[in-house]
Amino acid sequence: MPADVLLEINPPIGLDWRWWALVGLLVLLAAAVMAVGVLRWRSLGRGPADTNDTSLRELRSAALSRISTATADYHAGRLNAQDAAQQIGRAARWFAGTASDGDADYETALQLAAAARRDPRLQPVASFVTGIQDQCFSPTAQPDVDAVAGGAEEVIRQWR
């Protein structure tokens, strides 16, 4: 069949101009939505830096308060040395876990050491917890509560 016969049987039909107008409007609408989306996305990252964020300072203060309370309870005779050392270690791990948005407060010393390899900020905490492990849990140990508290305070104060 020659092409001329096909054009006679089924001639091309031009689309009405209103369809092209609809397509143009839809393209303009899509471009406008994309432009608004891009402008909105770019404005999200440009917010002013919050210089009044005191959350780390407040967290540090709360952890140091827990350490002071445990030390005071030990000196007042309300806690034995191991319980005080455990509470101090718990306060240091709680601080690190909350400050790093992780699970340091629930991890064992080995798990914390593994986490410190992934997040170097946890290295001082992991070293501290590993160092006091025997003092806290050995049945014959008598930990130096003031030294443990000093180590925990140093770890907390040096956190950035």
The pLDDT tens digits of the residues spanning 21-43 come to 999 999 999 999 999 999 988 88
pLDDT of residue 10: 77
The pLDDT tens digits of the residues spanning 90-137 come to 999 999 999 988 888 889 889 999 999 999 999 999 999 999 998 888
Please say whether the beta carbons of 79 and 73 come within 8 A. Answer: yes
The pLDDT tens digits of the residues spanning 46-80 come to 666 666 667 889 999 999 999 999 999 999 999 99
Joined tokens for residue 47: 């917010």
The helix/strand/coil state of 1 is coil
Q: Where are the domains of the chain?
A: 3-44, 55-157
